[in-house]
Chains A and B, each alone.
Chain A
Amino acid sequence: MKDLKTDILAQEPKLKIMPYSVPEGYFETFKAEMKPCVRMSLTERLMPYVAMAAVFVFLVTVGTLFLQKTSPAEIMTQEDYLVFSGDMMNTVEYEMAYGSQIADAEIENEDIINYLIYSGVTVEEIELSK
């Protein structure tokens, strides 16, 4: 494989040397900064997520119980709702009330990328489907 007359990878020892450098004192700072995060135990770090999950379960349970107690006759149909909300609110007020929520709901490229990666889609598959 290695023809020495033309094998530049074997002939040039400098190619094996990393041509990059790092800011002065970078590794020492990095090691020092990595240490404090270890001090927080796994339980402590997981606690906020456990709390969020508990709140979510609570809300789902309460929501389900509420829906079960509400009789079907009391649930407003989508058509009734549109008529009702049309009477209650004009377009300008609707924008004022929900405009910020619509803006917040915008999907970022990062979200799309994360979704594609975790759903197992590859770039090659997307390119093939073009």
Chain B
Amino acid sequence: MAVVELIGIKKYFGHVKAVDGIDLEIKDGEFLALLGPSGSGKTTLMRLIAGLESSTEGKIIINGEIVNEVPPRARGIAMVFQSYALYPHKTIFKNIAFPLVVEGLNKEEIKKKVLWAAGLLGIGHLLDRMPSQVSGGEKQRVAIARALVRRPKVLLMDEPLSNLDAKVRHTAREELKLFQREIAVTTVYVTHDQAEAMGLGDRIAVMNEGIIRQIGTPEEIYHEPVNTFVAGFVGIPPMNFIEQDSVIIGFRPETFLPTELIPDKDLMRLRFRVERVENLGSHRLVYGTIGDAKVISNLSLPYSIREGEEYDFSVRLKDIRYFDKEKGVRIKR
């Protein structure tokens, strides 16, 4: 169990500022999701915590100890790579046992711990196989078992679900959350998939261009974005933006509905020209324009909509977020 603190962390690769000044505290037992587009520096930040990269500037502190000069093996961390990085020449058992073997534990103890980790992840029946003989989902479990077997202080995961197919990914996400709660290990989870970040993270840190744009609970990130980047990056489809009187007005697609379907009185009414309707079963995505701005409505209630026509749509005033037109930062109104 551990607290991880990052103070003024910078990492430059030549002229490229991969991580450009990050202050972050990850609480004991917390599940922190690092969310950002590719190239945002999230993986570099994780590798800095792991000790696979050394920072250009700043301090990394794990449980009160500055670990900048401590090699990865002595930081008490474990990591699950995107590719799982299983040792191809070792059986599943030996893969999971490897950290313990290196540590120099005796055979009895190793066996006990491997069986514990394998049991936790439901891969007890695979222990004699080689990595090439198990499926992608099973590989991912093996990688997590290997990470957990040493009871790390901090667990780092780099997009561990991205190589799984959609169906497996969903159950894997659920299980990941459950067992993380069970063993309550401080976890940093890198992903570019916001559904994963929202579903898994106690808190989400949204990164872009090497800095953290916002950090908060999934609700805060989604409902109270502090700038247009976060608002536009989080949410599928993302927040709609229209310009009005030198400010940017933002609202979520699911709050942008036909006026007659909204019971409230405090509304902003907008003329919505519908261009295309996408029926997704549980809801419809209605693509269209307000003036020149492209917007989307997420419609889950029955309402007759035809492409090419104009409708009277509204957003409740309390669902509207205002942003500065120049800097893109949130303005309170």
A binds B: no
List residues of chain A with CB under 8 Å of any chain B CB.
Answer: none
Q: Which residues from chain B sit less than 8 Å from chain A, CB to CB?
A: none
